[in-house]
Amino acid sequence: MDILTEALASMRTGRPASVRTDGRAPWGLRLPPVAGAGFHVVLHGTCWLIPLSEAAEPLEPIALGPGDVVFLRDGRGHILADDPASPAAEARPEQYCEGGPIGSVSVGGDGPRTSLLCGSYHLDQGRPHPLVRQLPEVIHLPARHGRRTELAAAVQLLGAELDNPRIGSDGIVPALIDSLLLYILRAWLEEQPDSAADGWVAALRDPAVAPALAAIHDDPSAPWTVESLATRAGLSRAAFARRFAALVGEPPLSYLKSWRMTRAAELLREADVPLSAVAAQAGYGSEFAFGKAFKRAYGQAPGSYRRQAQTA
């Protein structure tokens, strides 16, 4: 079971929003926080990303070059500029125009040009999956020859489609942007050394915890117990429970319950299935029991949650 894909899918609340930004030195663009996760791909040229200081921990400016990718976990506000000293203007709606599969904006003077794909993934940050919550606030993946080949290929394909839109581009570009999120996070996760891995990075590699997580995600409605999960892990009940809690951050049955509610919420948002079917897939034998558990987790009844999500 691909836990990364499932974790992101459970948080998705809409399609990515994206815009091509072309800046000519001197230029600077102040981008406000977004409700989700932000990203930038440098297609041509160089620039700086300057995180704004409203976040808990101030971050240093990051120099970006061709092919570099940046992921901002919480969509924090930041500045893009040709130089940290360049004045930054607020992004204004009138600067944007529609052209091809995404919008575009041009800023700055008549100096060297930088072109980026900028955007956001609509993720529910109110209930983030712990795998996503444990990611760094900013992930910078510099372009390096011979490394991250799949991510580099996706960036090259995006650049080609945006530089020369053709028949099919309206479908290809959004699909590539959607896939880019998984390429970014997979590249970062795979590059974490075993010696430094902890939390969910270590859990996904652990020979005992990883099979238990896979079992929960593969069949969340099954009547799992600590004993049955420990059997999957090949450990005693007590040893498994300690190891699982240490890496995942909560006990096995607590995570199981949380994941069941997360999957139920996703089904209520995305699938037109009866509440009885949602309850069954969440491991509950009755709608009543499921409704009580869901209301404790989300503060409203399943039916109300579904109606609100469908009208949002």
Same domain for 172 and 206, yes or no, is no
Same domain for 157 and 126, yes or no, is yes
Question: Residue 225: pLDDT above 70?
Answer: yes
Which of 158, 190, 222 is the last residue in one of the domains? 190
What is the pLDDT averaged over residues 24-52?
93
Same domain for 35 and 129, yes or no, is yes
Residue 148, domain member (yes or no): yes
Same domain for 210 and 296, yes or no, is yes
Question: How many structural domains are present in the chain?
Answer: 2
pLDDT single digits (tens) 130-141: 999 999 999 999
- Those residues whose C-beta lies under 8 Å from the C-beta of residue 86, and which sit 6 or more positions away, are 25, 26, 27, 28
pTM comes to 0.87
pLDDT single digits (tens) 270-288: 888 999 999 999 999 999 9
| Reported confidence tier of residue 58, pLDDT bands at 50, 70, 90 | low
Same domain for 208 and 285, yes or no, is yes
CA–CA dist 16, 167 (Å, integer):
21
Residue 101, domain member (yes or no): yes
In the chain, % of residues over pLDDT 70: 94
Show the domain range for 117: 3-190
Question: Residue 55: pLDDT above 60?
Answer: no
Question: Residue 196: pLDDT above 70?
Answer: no
- Mean confidence (pLDDT) of the chain: 90
Neighbours of 114 (CB within 10 A): 26
Same domain for 51 and 134, yes or no, is yes
Question: Residue 95: pLDDT above 90?
Answer: no
Question: Residue 97: pLDDT above 60?
Answer: no
| Reported confidence tier of residue 98, pLDDT bands at 50, 70, 90 | low
What is the pLDDT averaged over residues 163-185?
91
Same domain for 180 and 210, yes or no, is no
Predicted local distance difference test score (pLDDT) of residue 96:
55
Nearest to 117 by CA among 157, 62, 148, 77: 157
What is the pLDDT averaged over residues 255-267?
95
Predicted local distance difference test score (pLDDT) of residue 236:
96
Alpha-carbon distance values, 208 to 229, 242, 247 (Å): 9, 11, 11
CATH number for the domain spanning 132: value is: 2.60.120.280
Tokens of 278: 């949602």
Same domain for 165 and 67, yes or no, is yes
Same domain for 282 and 142, yes or no, is no
Same domain for 143 and 242, yes or no, is no
Predicted local distance difference test score (pLDDT) of residue 147:
81
Same domain for 125 and 244, yes or no, is no
Predicted local distance difference test score (pLDDT) of residue 100:
55
What is the pLDDT averaged over residues 9-16?
85
Q: Before 165, cis peptide (omega within 30)?
A: no
Residue 195, domain member (yes or no): no
| Reported confidence tier of residue 101, pLDDT bands at 50, 70, 90 | low
